[in-house]
Amino acid sequence: MNKKRPLILASASPQRKKLLEEAGFEFEVIASLVDESLFQKDGVCACEYAQLLAKEKALDVARKHRNALVLGADSVVAIDDDIIGKPKDAIDAENIVRRLFAKDHKVVSGVAVISLANDICEVFCETTIIHPKKLSEEQILAHIKSGEWKGKAGGYGIQDCKDEFIDSIEGSFSNVIGLPMEATSEILKRLLSA
């Protein structure tokens, strides 16, 4: 870990943790306590919403760790200008999956890198377009029964079902997992070496 400016991931997401580890970063995980339900999705574009949540999560942790470089992130799925969050239950998950796998949709991640002591606040958004496969009734029901939709925006994790559910993607694959590593790595390397 960089002693001058330690890196903190303000997320409990195992996918984000794994992506950062695979990229060779040393960091600590301190999950943000921000309540996402307090933020209004209606009338806000997916990019603005994801960036707002990412920044709030990073700030929540940065306030307690002022010298650290804090990485906050939030990913949402959007279709027809509607932001689709994490399913509330199995019925909600089934409705979401049926809607998303009927046409192309987007995965939008907001990323914020903040250090209060160093006056750093960089926020960006990345969008990946998903071209889904047409799912059979059996595939949909098996997916809902598996419970793999729990805690995942859009009711699925691409790492669990890429070959079965996805025809192709346009953009960053790691973005769909939860963190656009190409852009994130570039920012972190620059700020950690400064």
Active site amino acids: 74
3-state helix, strand, coil in the chain (%, to 5): 40, 25, 35
Residue 136 in tokens: 């059979």
The Cα angle at residue 105 between residues 101 and 107, in degrees rounded to 5: 120
How buried is residue 115: exposed, middle or buried, by Cβ count under 10 Å (0-12/13-18/19+)? buried
Residue 95 in tokens: 């409705």
The residues pairing with 79 across neighbouring beta strands, listed in sequence order, are: 82
Contact 149, 97 (CB under 8 A): yes
Cα–Cα nearest to 78, from 141, 113, 126: 126
Cα–Cα nearest to 8, from 27, 23, 22: 27
